[in-house]
Structure 1
Amino acid sequence: MNMKLNGVMMGAAMTLIAALPLTSVAGQDDYPPKTLSFVAPSGAGGGWDLTIRTVAKTLKDTGLVEANMPITNRPGGGGAVNLAYMQTQKGSDKLISVYSPPILLTHLTGASKYSYQDTTPLARLITDYGAFVVSKDSKYTSINEVMEALKQDPKSVKVGGTSAAGSMDHIQFLLIAKAAGVPNLRQIDYISFQDGGAVAQVLGGHVDLISTGLGDVAQLVESGNLRALAQTASKRVGEGEVAKIPTVKEQGIDATFENWRGLFAPKDMPDYAVTYWHTTLKEMVETPEWAEARKRNGWDAAYQNGEDFSKFLAQTNEQYKAILAEIFKN
């Protein structure tokens, strides 16, 4: 009887072991794998691309992560294309993507049925700010000149950005325009260049102004290829030529806009991977290498762990909902 009972118990135990997810048995002890997948949900050269590449370089340079971290660019829909792809990777411990306000805005505007709640928020890393730049030969020398032109004719200024219409680059410009007293916001021409080609468009004279992230264009402002009319922080930030860019508030427009950026994994990332990234990213943001990258790009420190970041996202989602209702009210 005892031998029979032991056999039954052993068989039940083997069945239970076979039913356990392989990732929780094999993945926990040898995590991270040799190759991770880091994703920028945009074309090369934009703010998401710069951020995720800076994260990968810092993790590698500091020795915090030894795995390979190739960068994939998956543009489209202001981040919506990649967000939809992430839904096919639920439970993955390898995929990490960078996002910012569009992960909320694309859902609120109906451009995507998915939102931050369909991901695993890992950490908020930095705050960038909006910047409004023109070619060095542009007739516009201040943001107020742009706003005055729009007051006279909302079709007189063509605005470009790398996010989709109704998403971040578009919304940050409309917020400033509304604060400046520009009417007929819906009539302003906004052209999306999600392949990262916005800079070429303004340099070629195809658009008059780019609404973008300050970190995205810092080097081009430093080189003199682009002239920044204003940025959206409450104070001057960065160094060199970037530190000379006036805020919109300095120019009499009472508004600010924060472009926070953070890292997200697919929904249901295993606990061991979430714990690993919480620890590793907290260590990363405390390194001199990360501090130097922030300074170079004009980013402010804004670290939050996954739990605090999730709370921030819920609060910010409600704020953006109110902003959109105000901008687009009849």
Structure 2
Amino acid sequence: LLNLAQGKFGHFTEKDVKWLSGVAVDYGLVSVHKDSPLKNLDDLMKALRENPKALSFGGAGSVGGQDWMQTAMLAKKAGISPADLRFVALEGGGEVLTSLLGQHIQVGVGNISEVSSYLESGDIRVLAVFANRRLDGKFSKLPTAKEQGYDIEWPVIRGFYMGPKVSDEAYGWWKNAFDKMMANQKFDAVRENQDLLPFQLTGEELKAYVYKQTEEMRQLSQEYKLSQ
């Protein structure tokens, strides 16, 4: 959705496919090493305001990507320009966590599905999850940015879409299949095994959600001068 919002697929937009099913959601987060002096999101924001160049953020991908966007949103809430941040572009979530554990970066930005084993070992501290409310299960102890006074959300949905010329009959068959699958408790176990969280929208409801999310990302990308 972010790539669509930034025009990275040429003239194609979110309106050029048939959105079928959202089956799970991941959420962004910001974390630090267990020995970091930063204990909560307020500590991070204060440090950013005092000297944004003193902290190095690590995230997967480059400027304009998922993790950079989350970092930029943090900067905005701190009242500073994203251009003033030190952002280290790394290969993926694994490399971000390796760099954080080695203290080569001070702050890691990523997704909740990447950090489960590190939470269990106690090697990292999650300062905030970018969800609209506290998550359930093993992630229930992690504070959200919202509850700490910072209105930041970054959901990453996992799902499926179909080509624009797929027949209504075929589309309806797949929609019903996904509705049936997500009503089965066996699917809950599959989703949980991947450290993903419940998200169940199909058909028109998913289409409306996608259009809304993509437009919000488009506006944010334009604000940061990232749209093509």
TM-score between the two structures when normalised by the length of structure 2: 0.81
Residue in structure 2 matched with residue 188 of structure 1 by the alignment: 85
Q: For residues 76-97 of structure 1, what are the alpha-carbon distances to aligned partners after superposition, in whole Å with 9 as ceiling and x for unaligned?
A: xxxxxxxxxxxxxxxxxxxxxx
The one-letter code matched in structure 2 to 1:146 is: L
Q: Which has the higher contact order (CA 8 A, sep 6+)?
A: 2
Partner-residue secondary structure (3-state), 2:136: coil
Matched residue count:
224
Q: For residues 37-63 of structure 1, what are the alpha-carbon distances to aligned partners after superposition, in whole Å with 9 as ceiling and x for unaligned?
A: xxxxxxxxxxxxxxxxxxxxxxxxxxx
Seen in structure 2, the aligned counterparts of structure 1 residues 187 and 270 have a Cα distance that, compared at 3 Å, is farther
Q: CA deviation at 1:159?
A: 1.5
Q: For residues 298-327 of structure 1, what are the alpha-carbon distances to aligned partners after superposition, in whole Å with 9 as ceiling and x for unaligned?
A: 644321213332232222222222233445
Q: State how far apart, in whole Å, the 1-side matches of 2:71 and 2:136 are.
A: 21
Q: CA deviation at 1:231?
A: 0.8
> Of 175, 187, 192, which aligns to 1:290?
187
Tell whether 2:217 aligns with 1:320: yes
Tell whether 2:202 aligns with 1:305: yes
CA contact under 8 A between 1:123 and 1:263: conserved in structure 2? Answer: yes
Tell whether 2:167 aligns with 1:256: no
Quote the RMSD (CA, aligned, Å): 2.8
Bigger radius of gyration: 1
Q: State how far apart, in whole Å, the 2-side matches of 1:316 and 1:307 are.
A: 14
Q: CA deviation at 1:228?
A: 0.9
The one-letter code matched in structure 2 to 1:283 is: K
Q: State how far apart, in whole Å, the 2-side matches of 1:162 and 1:265 are.
A: 28
Residue in structure 2 matched with residue 63 of structure 1 by the alignment: none
Q: For residues 175-204 of structure 1, what are the alpha-carbon distances to aligned partners after superposition, in whole Å with 9 as ceiling and x for unaligned?
A: 23322x331222212233344422212122
Partner-residue secondary structure (3-state), 1:155: helix
Q: State how far apart, in whole Å, the 1-side matches of 2:73 and 2:135 are.
A: 20
- Unaligned 5+ runs, structure 1: 1-103
Q: CA deviation at 1:173?
A: 2.8
Residue in structure 2 matched with residue 231 of structure 1 by the alignment: 129
The one-letter code matched in structure 2 to 1:148 is: K
Q: CA deviation at 1:132?
A: 1.0
Q: For residues 268-324 of structure 1, what are the alpha-carbon distances to aligned partners after superposition, in whole Å with 9 as ceiling and x for unaligned?
A: 456665444322222221121222355566644321213332232222222222233
Q: CA deviation at 1:233?
A: 1.8
CA contact under 8 A between 2:26 and 2:197: conserved in structure 1? Answer: yes
The one-letter code matched in structure 2 to 1:305 is: T
Q: State how far apart, in whole Å, the 2-side matches of 1:250 and 1:293 are.
A: 29
Q: State how far apart, in whole Å, the 2-side matches of 1:327 and 1:111 are.
A: 15
Residue in structure 2 matched with residue 204 of structure 1 by the alignment: 102
Residue in structure 1 matched with residue 37 of structure 2 by the alignment: 139
TM-score between the two structures when normalised by the length of structure 1: 0.59
Q: State how far apart, in whole Å, the 2-side matches of 1:217 and 1:105 are.
A: 22
